[in-house]
């Protein structure tokens, strides 16, 4: 069993510009974790792994970021997926990863 979280948010940024902002966020230094193994898997999708820094017993987490055109905006959907032997999110870390990413992305939009 895995723990999945997903949040969607619209940004008033053209579709062709949002990927550059997402790349900037993924290269920013974070205090407690880093984005590793980041790849752009399609024109509208990034995949990365969130790896905690300094906490060897906390497992890494996959994060998928997709974006698509909405009416006058671009919708960004962020999904975290835990490793298969994680059964709950007691400390709400997965929502925290998503919220921190969105907070950083809002700075650019």
Dist. CA 8–CA 94, nearest whole Å: 14
pLDDT of amino acid 56: 75
Dist. CA 85–CA 96, nearest whole Å: 20
Query: Which SS3 state, helix, strand or coil, does residue 82 take?
Result: coil
Dist. CA 65–CA 15, nearest whole Å: 14
pLDDT of amino acid 39: 96
pLDDT digits (tens, 9 = 90+) for 68-99: 998 889 999 999 999 888 877 778 889 999 99
Question: Which sequence spans correspond to the domains of the chain?
Answer: 4-108
Task: Look up the CATH superfamily of 4-108.
Answer: START domain (3.30.530.20)
Q: Which residue(s) pair with 51 in the sheet?
A: 34
Low-confidence spans in the chain with pLDDT less than 50: none
Total count of residues recorded for the chain: 109
Dist. CA 11–CA 31, nearest whole Å: 25
């Amino acid at each position: 069993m895995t723990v999945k979280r997903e949040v969607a948010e619209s940004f008033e940024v053209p579709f062709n510009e949002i990927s550059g902002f997402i790349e900037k966020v993924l290269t920013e230094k974070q205090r407690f974790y880093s984005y590793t193994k980041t790849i752009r898997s399609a024109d509208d999708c990034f995949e990365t792994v969130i790896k905690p820094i300094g906490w060897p017993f906390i497992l890494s987490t996959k994060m998928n970021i997709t974006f698509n055109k909405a009416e006058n905006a671009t919708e960004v959907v962020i999904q975290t997926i835990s490793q298969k032997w994680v059964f709950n999110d007691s400390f709400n870390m997965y929502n925290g990863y998503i919220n921190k990413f969105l907070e950083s992305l809002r700075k650019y939009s």
